[in-house]
Amino acid sequence: MGFQTMTQLPRLYAILDAESCAKRGLSLLETAKAWRDAGVTLLQYRDKVASDAVLLETATSLRRVFEDVDATLILNDRVHLFAASGFDGVHVGQGDASVAAVRAVIGPDAVLGVSTHNPAQVSAADLLSVSYVAVGPVFATSTKLDAEPVVGLDGVALARSLTLKPLVAIGGITQGNADAVLEAGADSVAVISGLLDGDVRSFVRMVRE
């Protein structure tokens, strides 16, 4: 699935964050299995502290978890590990390598997402060879200590007006507010705590209706 052909994202973008799982005493792989069984088909694996070796070992295990379902697996940062991971794409932030440099590493057909936090960044991302643009945080979030200022639903609507690319909203999204975020113009909602602390099956069912 190349960036030119990834025109429609699943409405739920699950982010499997190692630190968030560890804080709750949850097994990363068991959580991934539960999410798979609940119907998650787009998953980003994020681990900011694991060594490259540990991250690759986990990535291999996650591939096995999802091998029998039609799912897209995204690696957070760690662009140099993309080929070895066997994942479908990578996601990078504003402080990471440039999109052009990342695209040169991962090739033209891999999925590539980029984080944005204000209108200027959204507009810039719209001109780049990315598969989707992520905007946020929409609401206050506890999963990033260095989170950017909240953009709110108005920020999602503004981002929607600035790009034709698939738009992912992230930051403090729960089953209770996901509908409002989608109605504001997001194609997909990226969720961490809202899945770890809630009912994944009902979340998946809700966003599909």
Model confidence, pTM: 0.94
Task: With cut-offs at 50, 70 and 90, classify the pLDDT of residue 155.
Answer: very high
**53, two tokens:** 């070796």
Task: Provide the CATH number for the domain around residue 188.
Answer: 3.20.20.70
Residue 17 inside a domain? The answer is yes
CA distance 115 to 168: 9
Angle at 195 between CA 15 and CA 132, to 5 degrees: 35
Residues 69-119: tens digit of each pLDDT: 999 999 999 999 999 999 999 999 998 889 999 999 999 999 999 999 999
Residue 163 inside a domain? The answer is yes
Residue 96 inside a domain? The answer is yes
What total number of domains does the chain contain? Answer: 1
Cβ within 8 Å of residue 44, ≥6 positions away: 13, 14, 15, 16, 73, 74, 75, 76, 91, 190
Residues 3-46: tens digit of each pLDDT: 444 557 999 999 999 999 999 999 999 999 999 999 999 999 99
More confident residue, 45 or 147: 45
Residue 6 inside a domain? The answer is no
CA distance 60 to 63: 5
Residue 28 lies in domain: 12-208
pLDDT at 1: 40
pLDDT at 197: 95
Residue 5 inside a domain? The answer is no
Residue 54 inside a domain? The answer is yes
**103, two tokens:** 């695209």
Residues listed for the chain: 209
Residue 2 inside a domain? The answer is no
